[in-house]
Every structure is written in C-alpha cells, then in structure tokens.
Amino acid sequence: MVKAIILAAGKGTRMKSELPKVLHTIFDKPLLGYVLDAVKNSNIVDYSYVIVGHKSELIKEYVEKEYSEAKTIIQEPQLGTGHAVSMARNDLENYEGEVIILCGDTPLIKSETIKSLVDFHKNNNSDITVMSAIFENPTNYGRIIRSKDNSLDAIIEEKDASLEQKQIKEINAGIYCLNWAKVKRVFSELKNNNAQGEYYLTDIIKWGKENNLNVNAYTLSDNNEIFGINSRKHLAEATKILHDEIIAQHLDNGVTIVSPETTFISPETEIGRDTIIYPNCYINGKNKIGSNCKIGPFAHLRGNVEIEEYVKIGNFVELKKAKVKSHTNICHLSYVGDAEVGENVNIGAGTITANYNPLTKIKSKTIIEDNVKIGSNSVLVAPVTIKEGANVGAVGVITKDVEPWSLAVTRSPLKVLEGWVKKQLKHD
C-alpha cells in the first residue's frame, strides 16, 4: 500500500479569514476533507500524513474526528514545501514503498487520478513522477521541461524561464509520486539558497537527475482537478465546478432537476431515478434519496438523511439525521431531525420534532411508526414514539408516547363567543 503526505500548513492570507484555508468548506465539507477522501477512495493508500502549521490544533481536531487512518504533523517553522515533506521522515523511516504528495487546498482531485498517477509511476519504473497539465495560458506556473526520451528533465519556474521555455504549455501540477526508499535522503540534502530562503519541493527533480534516478511526468486529463484555492473567489469557482459535475451526473442517472442553477447537491448524496428535485433545494452531507421521490422546492437536507422510494418532501422542509420510509409525505414548513419515520405517514405543515434539550445539550430521537398522521403545527418533543396508526390532532404538543391507532389531542376546547365583534364595535 501507498502512503500520502498532504501539505496543509499554509495560512491562506488571501482568504482573509481566521480559519485555516484547508478548513474552508464546499457543501459544508472542508477542502482538506475532499483531498483525504480522494486519497482514501483510491483504495491504494493505507495512511496519510497531514502537514499542518497555522492554527494546527483546528486541523488536528478535524482529522482526528473524521479520519482514523490519518495523522497531523506540525511544521514549525514553515520553511517551504520541501521542508514540509521532510516533517514526515521520522514516521516513514523504515518505509520503502511509494509516497504520494498532494496539496490540501485542491478539493477537485479525483481518486481515479491518484490511482492513475501511481500506476503510471510503477509501470514506468519511476523513482520520481510529477503530475503535469497542459494549460493554454501557463503564465505563473513552473514549466515542465522534457528530455528527448520524454522523461522529465527539469521544472523551470516562470521567473527563471527563457523566452523559449515560457512558450511551453505543460506545467507542474504540484502532485508527486516518489519511490521513498530511493528519494527520502533528498529531504536532508535540499538547499535554501533562494530569495525566499525556503526548501522547495520542486528541487527534488534536479537532485533526482543528478543522482541518476528515473524521473518522469504524468499528464493530467482534466485540469479542473488541480484547481487550487487561494481566495474566496477561487472557493466560489471550485464550488461552481463541483456543482456542475454533480448536477450533470444526476441528470445522466435519470434524476429530474428542474432548476440546475438553483439546486445544490453534495457529492456524497445518492439519488434514485425518476426522482424530481424542484428549484432552490440545498442538499449537503451524506444522504440517500430513493426513486420516484419529490423534493422541494426550497427543501434543505442537512446530512445523514435516508429517504426510500415514493416520498414527498415539501417546500421549506428541513431534514437532518432522519430516516424516512416509502410512500410518506412531509409537508411544507416542517422540521424533522434525529428521527425515524415509517411508511405511509403524513406529517402536516409546520410540524417540528423538538430533538434538542438546550439545558442538557442532548439530542433525542423521535420515532413515527407506519400509517401515522400528524396534524399541522404540531410539536413532537423527543424522546417520543408515535406508534402505528396513531393520529395527532393539529397544534398538538406531544411529550409522551402515543399508543397504536390512538388520537392524541392537546389543544384547549374551542370557545365561540357569538356577537363578540359587534359588541366590541358598539363599545368603541
């Protein structure tokens, strides 16, 4: 198996934020999470090392919570990309396989591309492989200089490139695959004799050539995958790219999306065919929506939502950590969170599952069994179970379990004061 080193120590000054750059989100998922998932889903990497610096404790907390097969390593002081990779040397002291190096701010990289890079590296018996890309406008990028045999000869930065070299459209994409046993000693031999006084990762190419290693470049097919985030504008652009990819995939899979421009769906969401997503829906987190459902308009799925087939989620409905079985309707202006909802259930407009106790800070579950009918503007105070076939009258506040096929009513009896309005008018 392969190891991964992910560079995530930068502050991200242009983001103009107190939050580390790699923790900024797309669909509520940190940029770093996309890179870690791509590495994990390649099925060739068994462990990742995330090199951190600025506000390292925040990144460490995220990695430890979400990724058991990854750890953070602090780079302090931060002396360049080559120095960052060297921070993992102690952990990899006795490792002799391949190491891939990626950037934590490139959320569009795909697991298939990572696997293809490693396959290319092995098939060509490479010691160092650099990922490259062809840009029509390569300005500001390091140029890939190839030898006559098509191997990689050098990476020349723009400021050092000749006029002829500046015409080259193949650029350094910033992702590497290394034969660690042969290359690891370079990280104790890099020099920092440059204007910034830093140790550059790109210098390993020159070192590899000087030490008669096999150095190659693997050309990326989709340039969007190496789109790096350095500003809020870049973040919005990456979100748009990912959004368009996701929408296109669902359309190809038989999902109707009435307004692709106003519909946002996370990459971890599965949707069955013949489901209709109406305009202005926001679906983030990991969800599974069955076939022949109707979602929205203006619905919000916040993650950990499982919806079976033939379910209707009405306008301005919010779901979070909810399981909804088939042929169930959750009508407009309702919130259903931390809940299990059975088959053939009708939840009236304005219904709320009150799942959070602000004093104990505990979230509790609401269970609504099959064939239940909940009247409009009801509040189900968790933990509570509405058992099979029961009905809850409108404006019900339910604080204890309701037995099967029962009617639960909590509102006061209606009083009608005849002639009250006329009396008031005469009095005035």
Question: Which pLDDT score is estimated for 411?
Answer: 86
Q: DSSP letter at 139?
A: T
Residue whose structure tokens are 């360049």: 80
Amino acid at 86: S
Cis before residue 77, ω within 30 degrees of 0? Answer: yes
Contact 180, 95 (CB under 8 A): yes
Per-residue pLDDT tens digits of the chain, which is 428 residues long:
999 999 999 888 999 999 999 999 999 999 999 999 999 999 999 999 999 998 999 999 999 999 999 999 999 999 999 999 999 999 999 999 999 999 999 999 999 999 999 999 999 999 999 999 999 999 989 999 999 999 999 999 888 889 999 999 999 999 999 999 999 999 999 998 887 888 999 999 999 999 999 999 999 999 999 999 999 999 999 999 999 999 999 999 999 999 999 999 999 999 999 999 999 999 999 999 999 999 999 999 999 999 999 999 999 999 999 999 999 999 899 999 999 999 999 999 999 999 999 999 999 999 999 999 999 999 999 999 999 999 999 999 999 999 999 999 998 888 999 999 999 898 76
CA proximity to 368, closest of 395, 399, 347: 347
Distance CA 375, CA 428 (A): 38
Contact 22, 51 (CB under 8 A): no
Query: Which sign, positive or negative, has the C-alpha torsion 313, 336, 324, 34?
Result: positive
Contact 381, 364 (CB under 8 A): no
Query: pTM, whole model, 2 decimals?
Result: 0.91
Q: DSSP letter at 406?
A: -
Distance CA 346, CA 328 (A): 6
Domains in the chain, CATH or no CATH each? 2-226 (3.90.550.10), 232-408 (2.160.10.10)
Rg (CA), the chain: 28
Beta bridge partners of 3: 47, 99
Cis before residue 267, ω within 30 degrees of 0? Answer: no
Distance CA 18, CA 228 (A): 19
**How many residues make up the chain in this entry?**
428
Question: Which pLDDT score is estimated for 332?
Answer: 95
Q: Report, in this order, helix, strand and coil percent for the chain, each rounded to 5.
A: 25, 30, 45
Question: Which pLDDT score is estimated for 428?
Answer: 66
Distance CA 122, CA 100 (A): 12
Give the count of beta carbons closer than 10 Å to the beta carbon of residue 247.
18
Query: Which sign, positive or negative, has the C-alpha torsion 80, 81, 84, 90?
Result: negative
Q: Cα-flanking dihedrals φ and ψ of residue 125, to 5°? A: 50, 40
Distance CA 8, CA 34 (A): 13
Q: How far is CA 208 from the centre of its chain?
A: 36
Q: Cα-flanking dihedrals φ and ψ of residue 154, to 5°? A: -165, 160
Contact 250, 257 (CB under 8 A): yes
Question: Which pLDDT score is estimated for 157?
Answer: 87
Q: Which of the residues are catalytic? A: 332
